[in-house]
Amino acid sequence: MSLKFFLENAWLIALLPFLSFAIIGLYLHRWPKISACLSIVSIGISLVLALGTAFAVFATKEGVVYEAAMRWLDMPGLRVDMGMLLDPLAAVMLIVVTLVALLVQVYSLGYMHDDPGLASYYAYQSLFAASMLGLVLANNFGQLYIFWELVGVCSYFLIGFWFGRDSAKEAAKKAFITNRVGDFAFLLGILFLQLLFGSLNYGSLATALEGFNNSAVLLIVALLLFGGSIGKSAQFPLHVWLPDAMEGPTPVSALIHAATMVAAGVYLIARAFFIFSASPEAMLVIAVVGGFTALFAASIALVQNDIKRILAYSTLSQLGYMIMAMGTGAMSASIFHLMTHAFFKSLLFLAAGSVIHALANEQDIFKMGNLYHKMPVTAGTFIVGALALSGIPPLSGFWSKDEILAGTLSSGHIFLYVLGLLVAFMTAFYMFRLVFVVFFGSNEAQGHPHESPWIMTTPLAILAGVSVVAGFPGSPLMHYAFGHYVNSPAALHVVPGALTMIISTLLALSGIGLAWAMYQQKLLEPRLLVDKVPQFYKLLINKYYIDEIYAWIVARAVDATAAWLFWVDINIVNRLVNNIAFFTGRSGETLRYTEDGQVQSYALYMFGGIIVILAAALYLGLPG
Amino acid sequence: MLSNFPVLSLALFMPVIGAIIIICLPKAETRPIKYVAAVSTFISLALSILVFIAYDRVQGGMQFIEHIPWIADLGVSYALGVDGISIPLMLLTNLIGFSAVYASWHVADRVKEFFILLLILISGVMGTFLTTDLFIFFLFYEVVVIPIYLLVIMWGSSKRVSKEYAGMKLTIYLLMGSAFLLTGLIALFIKAYTLSGVPSMDIATLSGLEFPLEFQIWVFAFMALGFGTLLSMFPFHAWSPDGYAGAPTAVSMIHAGVLKKIGGYGLIRIGIYILPLGAKFIAPVIAVLAIGNIVYAAMICLSQKDLKYIVGYSSVSHMGYVLIGIAALNLVSLNGAVIMMFAHGVMAALFFAMIGNLYEKSHTRNVDDFGGLAHQMPRLATGFMLAGLASLGLPGLVNFVGEFTIFIGAFRNYRVLTIIAVLGIVLTAVYILRTLGDVLFGPRREEWDELQDLRGPELVPLIVLGSVIILGGLYPLDIMNLINGGVEQIVNQTGLHNIQAALWTGGIF
Amino acid sequence: MMPGLSHYLLLAAGLFGIGVYGVLSRRNVIAVLMSVELMLNAVNINFIAAAKFVNHEQIVGQVFALFVIVVAAAEVAVGLALIIAMYRHKKSVNLNDFNLLKW
């Protein structure tokens, strides 16, 4: 089998999960176990194909680029293709998505084993995998937008999977609508691209864009496209949906809301890097939004008590990191971090899911404790993930995080560099706060916690292994191969210096140390700290009141306007119509009295009429 | 093979034949009556699928032509023919007509009369799309009005307004629209007569004449009023929510699904085709009103509690997309408008079918009365979800194709207006998801435990319309090529192409 | 002084006016019928006068007057028959009782 085979048939990677979705939806929904197996098998084959494709792409020194497409919508003036663009960036994403999706689907067999909706769960999982892979494969913005929306709707269904809960229902709705706000901007960006450059294909656009560097239209387009990223990657101010999205089953949170879908915003910037990099102002905006989100979310994560929410805010913060890296031009570092983050964050979520599963859906970390001895595999893998996230060498997070920090430094954004270091410290702290409280804490958990079955722990172990080694392609050990392949002519590529590595490692270690001191050794009572700055604590615990502000805006501005407009419609537009009808009816009522049935009245009208006509004839002159 | 066989006439009069057979059946035999209705609409549907497949896309233009001179002095002839614009709408009519018969399977009261009127209605609507003669077009349009009125006042339901009020309002608006239309048509005929010296009602012939600019402007204004009212153009939309709320399910389906589309179809086929200069002059006004439709109606949807009102206002909102697509007067936007009419028709019909079914079983349409229905009625929930997602323009469903194409096309001519129009996708998402969430999701409610899920004939609308929504969304290439063929001809023939090309390429590079 | 055309016309107009007044104001159906006869005779006078003063070679006016007399006779016959029918129905010849054309 030649490597060409994989390139030419890469579309199967997305099609197989879609077929699995269709078959489950149409025929298999009565047989949940068969559905699950079908779904897992199809994503498994996709993984094999994705690996083959990656082999083919990385076969040469420069990396192979392969593009193919079929028409989907074609008329003079608009063409949208269903195509695939295979290059190192896409290859990396394909592996990440298929691998994590496969492991999550296997894990779900254990986690969801007694759920009555198992078949539809796997149908949605398959649809999601297909859409996400279609998004990754896309060779034009039209296709990207199509799959962008489709992953959104899968996310909607999976967040609201337990639709009997009001909270899940609300969270799903919130996620979709918030994303729609971002997509509004994204779609406008696409409209501008089509209008200005007459094409949506990446390649054609890149050619057409030459000579537009630094122009105002490009800034507008770039910012509008970034709007899509803000929504999907949950950047401030559209971040509100992601923490609520934790209402979905935990494997879903791991796959969609940590590893893959939320990273689509980052992927978008990488894909459209030729647009963004041509507009320095847009890059600055991106860097600042990303940096701010990283810090903002990390600060909220410091005080949360729900295990999944801590991880969710951590995801927000890490996504901010990636976006910030994009903004500073370190595109390769950002994608590198996207990849490593996908592995260790899905690991963390799945391990957290294992804990939640063992504790009968308990999610408050202060109601857990001392689980290390009862759930050794879960605890061990979780700690590996936490170490990777904190950036402890030689785990994967270390390499990618340092590359981002190096990028901020060499692009001259000292402020962002410091901010990045601060976030690295906070990350280490809140992750190990979680680790110490949950796995080593003195609180005794309710019930009888037990290790999860092998079907759940095996994916954990695999992900833990991947989280350890995934950083090596971007490390000096492998001559920074990652950055060599996944790159863009306009991107900045720097390798972290020793100083950055040392500083970041020290900061991470001190974060872990502080957490250990506060939550393990109780050397420093957290309460004391809270009492020092009660206002600030209140602000953090209430997530800066962003949700409340939005709720107020929706209720006051949107709903009130809606009610007022309905009043207008009924009382002005409708009343106008009704009044016209009423007037017609009333004039009929009035004139009716002239028709009294008396022959003589009719004769009188006739006579009067004749007189009028005669008078008119006399006055105006007789006709003829 | 098909060249001499009057496919279109057969498709057109099949429902009427069905109605005649039903007339001969005894009143009490409700089952045969329904079967006759189903079979006759099915034959029409099969014929229109046949036409869809057999239409020669390479050759293009009007095909399956039938031509019988009728009133020579007025140049009227019974002329049928279809092209890329009318085929989708013919197909739409029959898809919905067939589904509507099944959606009314449980009508208990005066079954015979109901199906007779319904079948006449279907034929009437279909006729407007099939004919190439202005007079016949108007004739069929008038044929539609009477059955609609009777169906609403006899089998409708009263909520916020009484069904008599709703039926009257609907009828008066339809007739008002037709009054404007008639004025325009007569003016057109007389002017054409003086210009060419030959009386003609043939649309293609009329479009070949060069009407003076001023005449075009005012006649197009009349047509825009007439067709606009039919298409529920803001602020002439007041009939739409009340009308749909009062009407029985099948009528809501047909009305929102296809009858409304006569407005858009007429604007393209008669307005733009015959009076391109007038269209160009009036178009900006229509575009502004379209924004009124999109945003204003979508906002009102947010405050509605009655399911039928939500869909009613939402259909007003969606017609805004069609209107702005028409007003942008370029190939892409007109293509978008046509596919959007098709897509909205299927979606709205599915929505009304689901609402009708739910109302029939629960006797309420208030969103607050429901909750967690997906527990008891998963199939109904699927139908609602499909219609809702199509409504909010989810890619992979046919409505997205329409919206996307319209936005791309309209953006060429109206920057700011299109940006506001795109805002519609956010508002739509808000009200659709709110409604669906409140009706379908949430905790199980005991009081609805005895509700039966869809089964048997009730499934037909879901399967027929649902599969069209999905297939059209996954593979729009063919139907878009078909539409493009029809629209391209109009655009090229009227010279819109040149006018607009100059207008937009200037600003790009 | 010889009576001229205008004298005849004035007489006819007067007679017609009386007839109209009778038709419009009398409630008794028979009186109304009689007033109609007056109006018809006013028309007859006009015909005769016009025949004498405007075109006295021909006798068109006289012929028309004869026609009118014949029609009037027929009308009276039908009218009286109707009145009898109405009287049988309502026991009244008062026009106010016959407002059945009202909606």
Q: Note whether C102 contacts A599, CB cutoff 8 Å.
A: no
The CA distance from B63 to B29, in Å, is: 40
Q: B473 or A4: whose pLDDT is higher?
A: B473
Cα distance from N-terminal residue to C-terminal residue, chain B:
51
Q: Are A318 and A341 in contact (CB under 8 A)?
A: yes
**How many other CB atoms sit within 10 Å of the CB of residue A62?**
9
- Say if A149 is an interface residue toward chain B (CB within 8 Å): yes
* SS3 (DSSP) at A72: strand
State how far the alpha carbon of A13 is from the alpha carbons of A3, A134, C18, in Å. Answer: 15, 9, 105
Which residue type sits at B139?
L
Specify the pLDDT at position A62: 81
Assess whether pLDDT exceeds 90 at residue A156. Answer: yes
- Of chain A, the percentage scoring pLDDT greater than 70 comes to 99
Task: Enumerate the residues of chain B whose CB falls inside 8 A of the CB of residue A77.
Answer: 330-332, 408-409
Contact B441 A164 (CB under 8 A): yes
CA–CA min distance C22, chain A (Å): 10
Distances (CA, A) of A528 to A8, A524, B165: 63, 8, 70
Q: Which of B170, B299, B316 to mutate to test the interface with A (most CBs of A within 10 A)?
A: B299
| pLDDT at C14 exceeding the cut of 80 | yes
Q: List the single best residue of C93, C99, C100 to mutate versus A (max A Cβ within 10 A).
A: C99
- For the beta carbon of residue B50, count every other beta carbon within 10 angstroms: 14
Cα–Cα dist B199/B207, whole Å: 14
| Alpha-carbon gap, residue A147 to A143, rounded angstroms | 6
pLDDT band at B236 (very low <50, low <70, confident <90, very high): confident
**H/E stretch holding C16:** helix C5-25
**A535 touches C at CB < 8 Å:** no
Contact A73 B330 (CB under 8 A): no
| Beta strand ranges found along A237-324 (DSSP E) | none
Q: What per-residue confidence (pLDDT) applies to A90? A: 92
Per-residue pLDDT at A232: 92
B contact test, residue of A75, A127, A199 with most B CBs within 10 A: A75
pLDDT digits (tens, 9 = 90+) for B102-144: 998 888 888 899 999 999 999 999 999 999 999 999 999 988 8
Q: Does A151 contact B at CB distance below 8 Å?
A: no
- Answer whether A597 sits within 8 Å of C25, measured CB to CB: no
> Which pLDDT score, from 0 to 100, does residue B59 have?
86
Q: Which of B17, B23, B274, B324 is nearest to B137 (CA)?
A: B274
A182 to chain B: closest CA residue: B426
Cβ contacts of B28 within 8 Å, gap of 6 or more: none
Average pLDDT over residues A551-566: 87
Determine phi and psi for B332, rounding to 5 degrees: -65, -45
> In whole angstroms, what is the distance from residue B133 CA to residue B5 CA?
20
Bridge partners, residue B79, by sequence: B67
Asked if pLDDT for residue B159 goes beyond 80, the answer is no
CB pair distance less than 8 Å for A563 and B332:
no
C-alpha span between A17 and A128 (Å, rounded) = 8
Backbone angles phi, psi at B77, to 5 degrees: -140, 155
Q: Where does residue A543 fall: left (phi above 0), alpha (psi -120 to 50 degrees), or beta otherwise? A: left
Whether residue A248 contacts residue A159, with contact meaning beta carbons closer than 8 Å, is answered with: yes
Number of Cβ within 10 Å of residue A525's Cβ equals 10
For residue C102, the chain A residue with the least C-alpha distance is A597
Q: In the 8-state DSSP scheme, what is residue A520?
A: I
Residue B33: pLDDT above 50?
A: yes
Q: Do A76 and B331 touch (CB under 8 A)?
A: yes
Please report, for residues A593, C4, C6, C53, C68, the alpha-carbon distance to residue C57 in angstroms, rounded to integers and kept in the order given.
52, 18, 20, 10, 21
Helix (H, G, I), strand (E, B) or coil at A71: strand
CB-closest option in B331, B375, B480 to A73: B480
* Upper half-sphere CA count for residue B274 (Cβ side, 13 Å): 32
Tell me the pLDDT of chain B averaged across its residues.
89
Chain C partners within 8 Å of A592 (Cβ): 103
Q: Do B303 and A73 touch (CB under 8 A)?
A: no
Amino acid type, B473: G
Least confident of A105-114, A203-212, A502-511, B344-353: A203-212
Q: Which chain C residue's Cα is nearest to A596?
A: C102
C73-103 pLDDT per residue, tens: 999 999 999 889 888 888 888 888 777 766 5
CB-CB contact of B485 with B83 (8 Å): yes
User: Is the overall model pTM greater than 0.80, yes or no?
Assistant: yes
Average pLDDT for A586-613:
85
Question: How far away is chain B from the Cα of A165, in angstroms, using its nearest Cα?
Answer: 5
Q: What is the pLDDT of residues A278-324, one digit of tens each?
A: 888 999 999 999 999 999 999 999 888 899 999 999 999 999 999 99
ipTM of model: 0.92
Residue A593: what are its φ and ψ, rounded to 5°? -65, -20
> Residue B506 has what pLDDT?
35
The pLDDT of residue A229 is above 70: yes
Nearest Cα of chain A lies from the Cα of B297 at a distance, in angstroms, of 9
Please judge whether B429 and A191 are an interchain contact, meaning their C-beta atoms are less than 8 angstroms apart: no
Average pLDDT, chain A: 88
Sign of CA dihedral A204, A210, A212, A213: positive
Binding partners of C (≥3 Cβ pairs within 8 A) = A
Contact A559 B400 (CB under 8 A): no
A561 contact B CB<8A: yes
Please state, in angstroms and rounded to a whole number, the distance separating the CA atoms of residues A252 and A160.
Answer: 11
Over range A119-137, report the average pLDDT. 93
Q: Is A198 on the interface with B (CB under 8 A)?
A: yes
Which chain A residues have a beta carbon less than 8 Å from that of B330? Answer: 77
Which residues of C fall within a CB distance of 8 Å from A603?
23-24
565-604 in chain A: CB under 8 A from chain C: 592, 595-600, 603-604
Three-class secondary structure of residue B299 per DSSP: helix
3-state class (DSSP) for residue A86: strand
Q: Quickly list H helices, B29-110.
A: 30-54, 86-103
Distances (CA, A) of A175 to A1, A244, A342, B162, C42: 43, 8, 20, 39, 93
In sequence order, the 6+-apart residues with CB closer than 8 A to the CB of B404 are A73, A80, A142, A145, B336, B393, B395
At B168-213, the pLDDT tens digits run: 888 888 888 889 999 999 999 999 999 888 888 888 888 888 888 8
Is residue B431 within 8 A of residue B502, CB to CB? The reply is: no
Q: Which of A78, A164, A180 sits opposite B408 (nearest CB)?
A: A78
pLDDT higher than 70, residue A596: yes
Q: Which tokens belong to A240?
A: 């509100």
User: For B143-157, what is the mean pLDDT?
Assistant: 88
What pLDDT score does B502 carry?
Answer: 40
Q: Note whether A283 and A327 are within 8 A (CB).
A: yes
Q: Which chains touch B (3 or more CB pairs under 8 A)?
A: A
In one-letter notation, the amino acid at residue B69 is: P
Q: Which residue of B has its CA nearest to A187?
A: B422
| Six-digit token string for A273 | 């890097």
Residue A555 in contact with partner chain B when CB distance is under 8 A: no
Q: Is B477's CB within 8 Å of A196's CB?
A: no
d(CA B432, CA B453): 22
Whether A78 and B409 have beta carbons less than 8 Å apart is answered as: yes
Strand segments, DSSP code E, in A16-159 are 66-75, 78-86
Range of A285-289, A401-405, A523-527, B169-173 with top mean pLDDT = A285-289
Pick the residue from chain A with its C-alpha nearest to C95.
A598
Of B372, B202, B170, the closest CA to residue B270 belongs to B202
**Which residues are paired to A201 by β-bridges?**
A140
